[in-house]
Every structure is written in structure tokens, then in C-alpha cells.
A and B are shown apart, each in its own frame.
Chain A
Amino acid sequence: MNYEKQAQDYYSKAPLIILGSGASCAHGMSGMEALAEYLVKKIDISDISAKDKITWSEFCRVLESGTDLETALHQVATSEELTSCIIRKTWELINAEDLGIFHEYLQNNQRFSLGKIISHMFKSSISNINIITTNYDRLAEYACEREKIHHYTGFTHGFFRQLSQPKEIKVNRKVNIWKVHGSIDWFKSPLEDIIGLPHLQDIPKGYGPQIVTPGTQKYQRTHLEPYRSIINNADQAITAATSYLCIGYGFNDEHIQPKLMTKCARQGAPITIVTYALSDATKRYVINGGMSNYLAIERGDHDDQSVVYSSLEENPVIVEKNFWNIDGYLTLIT
């Protein structure tokens, strides 16, 4: 099986990059499980209303029974107040971890793996790279800046960033980062508009963090700006792309899925997936879902072993090399 050629071929089509939580986990950020734990520990029930207390304890019980965070939040209808509390606590956790990674980077000045890919892709005549991410952290932005590449996330640049149109930022090479679930530096101001405030330790008074946590409210919120525009832009980017590279993405997001499925399953666009472990959804949609051009690589029994699933081969192949994380994938294509 020539999965190497397949990977290089898919990559040469300048793939749109989709980052899932796995991409952040690689940097030691909390996943859903850790977030759930954090929420249970940190949410102070003494401050919330009696009704919410009942909801919360029910939520905790569901979680304890082994249900994951997302499902649990779907099962329990949280009030606006409780939701806001969850968002703030989530923000606290992710923001602290994000800043931690930033500070660590300042010390060792290493390159980000994602940045290496982006830099390599820009050694071509491509002037725009699109990254779609479901993560709230700013790792993609850090990666771009480390490589001296301009990025656009829907806002103007600077300290006090306001929503802007993609056309407003004109540079030779640009990475568009579409953060479909918001970002830890997005806030709703007292004037009810959305502002980007980078690198805050705390949430400014009167400001509300703009991140979409799992749960029923996910769908209400994403109908509103800026998510509506961002998701629209992400959709357009997916439609325009001819190849996809999913990093640590588990095919569990309804905001990305529909267009991606149209392109990959119906139109045969090639898709490459590199991840720690392929999720059930990935296996269902990609490997057994009749996609005609896919290459999915997950970690084997140890770091230097990869399991390669390819549309060219019926059965997965085990390779004694690391191809499953970004750095490993890079050795496959460069």
C-alpha cells in the first residue's frame, strides 16, 4: 500500500486544516473529561439559585454515572445563569492553560508543529490557508505568529479588536482561523457588541466570555453573531477546499460536519486524519461510511507505532513509525 504517496498527494492539494480538541490535548490542554472534573470541583453551588442547585446536582450525578460532559449537558437543561457560570469556569481553566503554554513558549522558543505545516504550505504560491477549529484556545494563532505569518480570526488586529471583514486585512500571505465555538479572547462588552481582548488574566467587569460550551445552548448561541458569520465563513472555506487535513478532530461537531460530509462522502474530496485515537464517529463516517478518498492515521500501541487506515486498502496497516501526530505527519510529507 502506498499510503505515503497518498498522503503526499492529498497534501499537495493544499488542504484546509481542521483542528479538533486532540490538537490542543497534544499541548497538554484539558479535554472534555478534565473540563468536567474541573467544573464539578469549581462550580460553587452556594452562589446559585435553588432550582439551579437541583439541576446541578442532577448533572453531577449523570456525570458520575459515566456519561461524558457533552451528553450530560444535553440531558440537563441548564438555566441561563448556570450556563454563564459554566462558561466562566471553562474560560478560567482554558485561559490559564493557554497562557501557561504561551509563557512556556516564551521560555524555550520552540516552533509549534502546526506552524511547521503552515510554513511549509506557504512555500508555494498559496496566499491563504484556512484553519477551522473547535477549540477555544489560541494555539493556532501562536503557531502562525511564531512563523511570522499574519492571521485573521474575524477581528481587527491590536489590543482592542473589533469585528471586521476578511477583506479588510490585506497581506501577502494570511491564515484564516475560523473558531466556530468562539475563543477565550472574545467577549461581549456592556454595549452588547463582540470585542477581542488578548491575553487577559481575568474577565473584565461587565464583559462576558464568548465561548460556546457543550449543551443545549450551543445551538441557540451559534445562531448569533459572531458565530453566525464565522460558521458561514468556515462553510465557505470547506466548500472551496479540495482537500482536508483533520488534526485531532473526532467528527463530533455539527457545525463542521454537513459541508465536510458533502465534499468528502458525496464528491470524493480527499481527507487526511491524524489523531491519537480515531473516534467512533470517525470510524462510522469515514472508514465505514463509504468515503472514497481517505487516509486516517492513529497511534498504535506506543508512540512510534501508527495504524494507517486508507481508502486504498481494506484492512488497516500497522507501521512502526510515528505518523499520527503533526510532527510525525510532517515526516510523511516533507
Chain B
Amino acid sequence: MSIFNFVDDEALGKVASVDTATVIVDVENINQLKRLQVNHLAVLQSSRPGQHLIGLITQVTRKKSAAEELNDGIVDQYAELNLCRIALIGTLLDRDGNKENVFRRTLESVPEIDANCFSLEGDNLTGFMRTLSSIAADKNSLTLGRYTLDEHAVAYLNGNKFFQRHAFIGGSTGSGKSWTTARIIEQMERLDSANAIIFDLHGEYSPLVGDGIQQLKVAGPADVESARTLDEGIVFLPYWLLSYEALVSMFVDRSDQNAPNQAMIMAREINQAKRKYLEDRNYVDILSHFTVDSPVPFDLKELLARLNSINTEMVAGARGDKQGEFYGKLARMISRLENKISDRRLGFLFSGGEDVLDFSWLNKLSANLVGCTSENNIAGIKIVDFSEVPSDILPLIVSLVARVAFSIQQWTPSELRHPIALLCDEAHLYIPQRSMADSANNISIDIFERIAKEGRKYGLSLVVISQRPSEVNKTILSQCSNFISMRLTNAEDQGVIKKLLPDSLGGFGDILPTLDTGEALMVGDASLLPSRIRVDEPANRPNSGTVDFWDEWQAPVEEHRLTAAIDNWRKQNIQ
């Protein structure tokens, strides 16, 4: 039976005017008018039995018109005009096929003038929220929390839709973004074959534990020294995995007048080095197909030697030997390369040791990064800590992981494909707007844009997490069809979210700066209604790193803290 039990007498009023998706209701019931609140829900009777139109109250007004003196001296009472503007957002069908109480985000019929309008509260509201919730609500459905409108109603999300077409989680710092992310991760963890990579830039998610969660860390200087390996959760991302573009952006200084030559020689020599590696190990089937971008290891020392010899090459000239074509032109690139190789902070790229150069090493890495619990025997959800990656090459490294995931998905035969989600924390750092990007960022943007556009087809989903929606790449945002927005105080950032709301719901965006910590506005095809949700607390709180200044200032300071810091700085290592 229908969940709505409205009696005509309880009507708020009747529809006075109808626009495409907004109606104005003449409120007759003054007591009800006082209780009306913007952003609460209202129900309109439709011309079709078995259907109700659902709307959102966007404005409540009460106007007094001037007293009118009638001709015989009698003053007319103050005429009141109590109006309520409602944006229509959907239809509730009592029955749709064999399903009961189905909510649809379309208007199947238009409201009629004089149709009764009811405020959705009490049992009716609970019933309605339950209806929204009960859709696809089984024990493993995705829930964020509860509706602010009705704290008894669980806000379920359609997990398929949430990941299918990418999602965005935004909110100012301290608004509960990482809580929300942690909650989503926790729920993914309960699924047997969940598969996700979380790009954790600050080690924030290290407190998240569980059978389905694996903590990985991109090797820092200390890890390189102690020769830790993948089995200990230390990830090396060797240079040979980088695409040619990425290598060039790293080693070639674009402002160098020889940059084009250097890039050309890089391509040639890397190709040569990879060929040599394959020839030495007799991988004949790969030899005929590989390209400079193929993930084939090569010896960096040999490459350096080759570059050096090109740089100092003398060729036979008409009058004895003369300097070769590229004599001295590679000098800067070579020194750049040498610098990088010796940079302790880049140990995860260059100091992986012999086993990283092994041909089968990529299999091991992918099993760890892209594998499900059953495949890597550890866990399907991988939290990758990038905290020790230098910020200038962070976009390259994050996108490298994304590219590995994308390539693997792309080269998996469709029938074998298993979906994987990439949760990109602090996305504005490595997927910024094009206009703010340097060459390292551009490579990262290219990869993420590609994933955003085509990932759906290959079962690759992005969950973009950022405190600055306005700084995140627009193309990627435009591909996200689900938005969870926490409190946003910056006007530009609010603007990004507001633009996503349908015109009729523009007013909903106004609550963005007033959301409480842990409260979110959920918009998108995973939730039937744009709704205000109070996010439940995750079982393990992420390490948000908030420092209690006032308290700390009242406590004594640790000894030797400054000398320790300086020492560590010099050693590039936290002891």
C-alpha cells in the first residue's frame, strides 16, 4: 500500500501557480506555515491516482497587503498572502511493475492548479525516507549515515552507481572529508573481492585496519637503506615504469635550448636499452612489439654510459676528428639525471636493487597494487602512503600508479576484468586545473582525464577527494556524477558544487557553508534525492593530524627537538 496517508484537511494549501519544475503553493494553514522550513520536503497530489509528486521547499513567504478602505468606511482586514515555493524533484509511484513505492527523479505528471500540497513530516517522512533507503538495501549496501531530516532513516547509496561514474568528495579542511572516505573504505572492506587503491598523501589513513585493508608505502630513504621490500609493504616504483613523457619531463629541462635533441636521444637510447634488456634475456615475442612506453626494465647505468659517450663523441671529419653532432649538448641532462639518481628521496625510483630490474617484478607489483584479496593473499584495498615522495614529482608518481592500474584494466580481456576504484586524496595536488599545471602535472592530468573519460568502460573508477573543488581539474569534475560535499567556506569552491545542482535546487547549495562537521550534501545518481546526510563515524578514525595548539602551548617542550629536526633534514630521514 501507499506509504502516504494524507487527509485533505491536513493540506498545507493548494497549488496556485505552476512553472516547469517549481510550483507556488498558497498556504492556507497558518500554523503549518510557521513550521515550514526551507529544504524540507513537500508532497503534491498528482492528477494520476497512485502517484505523488515530491518537492523541496525553497522559499516560504508571508506578505501583508495594505489595508483597503471600502466605500462605506469599513476597513478590510489585512489580507495576507502566504506563499511557499516548491521545487519539484521527483515522483513517488505506489507501484511500478512489481515494485512497491518507487521513487523516480522525473516528473511523470505535472501538478495541477488547486492540487493539495502536504508537508512531508512525521510518519510520512519516515516512510518516504525508508522508501528511498530500502532501495537496494541489503546487508552489503553502501551507507554513509543518516538523513538530517530524519535521523532514523539510513541514507543508503547505490553502490554500483556511486562507483560506475566516478564520485567526488569535497569539503574544507576539518569538515569530515577523511571521515567520509574512511567510512566508504570500511564498507568496501567488508566485500570479499573489493578492489581499490587509496592515494594517501599524508599518511592520514594509516589507522585504518582490517582484513581487507593493506597499508603500502612508497619507499622513503630509510626504507631504501634497510632494503625493505614489497612483502613488508614498501613499494618501489622503478624508473622503467615511467612513460617516455614522464621520463623526459623529469630529466630534460624544457627551458634548455637543446631540449628537443635531448628528448629525441632519450627516446632512442631508452628504446635501445630496453631492446638490449630483452635481447640479453631472449624475450623474442616481446622484442617485435615493444615500444618506448612498454614496461620493460632497462639498465640505467648503461643508459648513462651511452649518453656520456654521445655527449663526448668525436666523429671523423674532413680534417681529422671533430666533435659529434651532440657533443656537449647532453651535458645538462646527464648531470640532471645523475643528480636524480643520487637523490636519496628518489630512492623508490632508482635504488630498488637488482630484483626490481627483474622481468617478473612488474607481476609482483601489480598483484600487490591491483590485485584482490584472493590474488595477492593480503587485501584488496590498498592504502598507498605517498608521504615521502618529494612534492615536485608527486604528480608523476601518483599518476604512475594510476597508469599501472589503467593499463592493467585496459589490457585485461573484458570477460576477465574486475573493477577497481582509485581514491585520490588531495586531488588538487596532482590533478589541478590545466592552467595551473606544469609539465609533470600535465602528464598526471592526461592520465587521470583519460581514466575519468574512459575508465568506466574498463571498470576503473575514480573517487576524487579534495578540499579545493575549484582547483581540481574541470574535466575530471565534469565526469563525476556523484558529489558528497561537506562544509565549504570558500565561495569559489561552493560555486563548483552549486553549479552541479539542478537549477530548481540552486537553494540547496546555500547550506554548504552552514553544514556541521560530519554533515554532507549528497548529490548524484547514487542517491535518489539530493540529501543532507549526517555521516556516521568510522570505526577507525583517520589520523587527521590536527594539532591542539592551545593545549600544546601549555605543556613543556621536548628536549633537543630542533637539533633532531636539523639532523634529520640533512639526512633526509626521520630517525
A interface residue numbers (CB < 8 A to B): 2, 4-5, 8, 11-14, 120-126, 172-173, 332-334
Contacts and interface: CB of A to CB of B under 8 A. Distances in A.
Contacts of A14: 47-49
Nearest to A121: B49
B2 A8 contact: no
Listed residue (B47, B93, B95) with the most chain A CB atoms within 10 angstroms of its CB:
B95
Contact residues of A: prevailing secondary structure: loop
B49 A120 contact: yes
B467 to A, nearest CB: 46
B96 A12 contact: no
Contact of B114 (A122, A123, A125): A125
B112 interface: yes
B50 A11 contact: yes
Interface in B507-522: none
A124 B2 contact: no
Given A173-B8, A333-B95, A334-B94, A8 B50 contact: yes
Interface string B54-74: 000000000000000000000
Nearest to B101: A334
A125 B116 contact: yes
A123 B6 contact: yes
Contacts of A2: 97
Contacts of B111: 125
Given A13-B48, A125-B116, 16 more contacts: A2-B97, A5-B97, A12-B49, A14-B49, A120-B2, A120-B49, A120-B50, A121-B49, A123-B2, A125-B46, A125-B112, A125-B114, A332-B95, A333-B94, A333-B95, A334-B1
A298 B2 CA distance: 25
Interface in B27-69: 45-52
A334 B52 contact: no
Contacts of A173: 8
A334 B97 contact: no
Interface string B384-417: 0000000000000000000000000000000000
A13 B109 CA distance: 11
B45 A8 contact: no
A244 to B, nearest CB: 14
A8 B114 contact: no
A123 B5 CA distance: 8
A4 B95 contact: yes
B115 interface: yes
A331 B48 CA distance: 17
Nearest to B43: A123
Contacts of B20: none
A126 B49 contact: yes
Nearest to A2: B97
Query: Lowest 4 CB-CB distances: which A-B pairs, in order?
Result: A125-B115, A12-B48, A121-B49, A125-B112
A11 B50 CA distance: 8
A8 B100 CA distance: 11
B98 to A, nearest CB: 5
A124 B48 contact: yes
A69 B496 CA distance: 77
Interface in B88-123: 93-98, 100, 111-112, 114-116
B4 interface: yes
Given A2-B97, A125-B112, A125-B116, A334 B8 contact: no
Contacts of A124: 45-51
A123 B49 contact: yes
Contacts of B48: 12-14, 124
Nearest to B93: A8
Given A8-B95, A8-B96, A125-B112, A334 B46 contact: no
A13 B1 CA distance: 18
Interface string B107-142: 000011011100000000000000000000000000
A143 to B, nearest CB: 16
A172 B8 contact: yes
A123 B118 CA distance: 11
Nearest to A8: B95
A120 B95 CA distance: 12
A125 B112 CA distance: 7
A334 B51 contact: no
Nearest to B51: A12
B116 to A, nearest CB: 7
Contact of A125 (B1, B47, B96): B47
A126 B46 CA distance: 8
B277 to A, nearest CB: 61
A120 B48 CA distance: 11
A259 B6 CA distance: 35
A200 B32 CA distance: 46
Contact of B2 (A12, A125, A334): A334
Contacts of B50: 8, 11-12, 120, 124, 333-334
6 contacts: A4-B97, A8-B96, A121-B49, A124-B50, A125-B114, A334-B2
B549 to A, nearest CB: 58
Contacts of B98: 4
Nearest to A332: B95
A124 B98 CA distance: 21
Nearest to A118: B49
A5 B1 contact: no
A192 B372 CA distance: 90
B93 to A, nearest CB: 8
A172 B28 CA distance: 15
Contact of B96 (A5, A13, A122, A172): A5
B286 to A, nearest CB: 54
Contacts of B115: 125
A13 B46 CA distance: 11
Contact of A123 (B52, B95, B97, B112): B52
Listed residue (A120, A123, A173) with the most chain B CB atoms within 10 angstroms of its CB:
A123
B231 to A, nearest CB: 56
Contacts of B95: 4, 8, 332-334
B120 to A, nearest CB: 14
A193 to B, nearest CB: 35
Nearest to B113: A125
A11 B2 CA distance: 14
Contacts of A4: 95, 97-98
A121 B46 CA distance: 10
B110 to A, nearest CB: 10
Interface in B1-31: 1-2, 4, 6, 8
